[in-house]
Amino acid sequence: MTFFKDDDKKPENSYEKAEDTQEVRSEAQAVIQSRGFTCTKVNSTHAAAFGGSITVFCDDVYEYKIKDNGGKYQVTAE
């Protein structure tokens, strides 16, 4: 979940400026499910103010935090 703004620049963490779009919701859902957690429908996503993590609300019940640890994503149930 990183992207290049310009070919000459380093990759930037997409969560630092992530908006709650369908693409972000789909990617977050895939990461959550790949770690064995339940997430049938993403209700919303919220990027941390200082980057590096995103909070995801699923199924009107579950809250997860996805943290970027050097390209390896850690999911925790909140």
70 vs 13: CA distance, rounded Å: 10
Q: How many angstroms separate the Cα of 3 from the Cα of each of 42, 49, 63, 68, 74?
A: 22, 19, 25, 14, 19
Asked if 52 and 68 count as a contact pair (C-beta separation under 8 A), the reply is: yes
Reported in sequence order, the residue ranges of 1-78 that DSSP labels E, i.e. its strands, are 2-3, 12-13, 42-47, 53-58, 62-69, 72-77
Question: Measured between alpha carbons, how far is 42 from 10 in angstroms, rounded to an integer?
Answer: 30
State residue 17's pLDDT score.
Answer: 57
- Return the higher-pLDDT residue of 49 and 26: 26
| pLDDT greater than 80 at residue 71 | yes
Q: What is the pTM of this model?
A: 0.75
* Domain ranges across the chain: 2-77
* pLDDT at 63 exceeding the cut of 50: yes
29-47: average pLDDT:
96
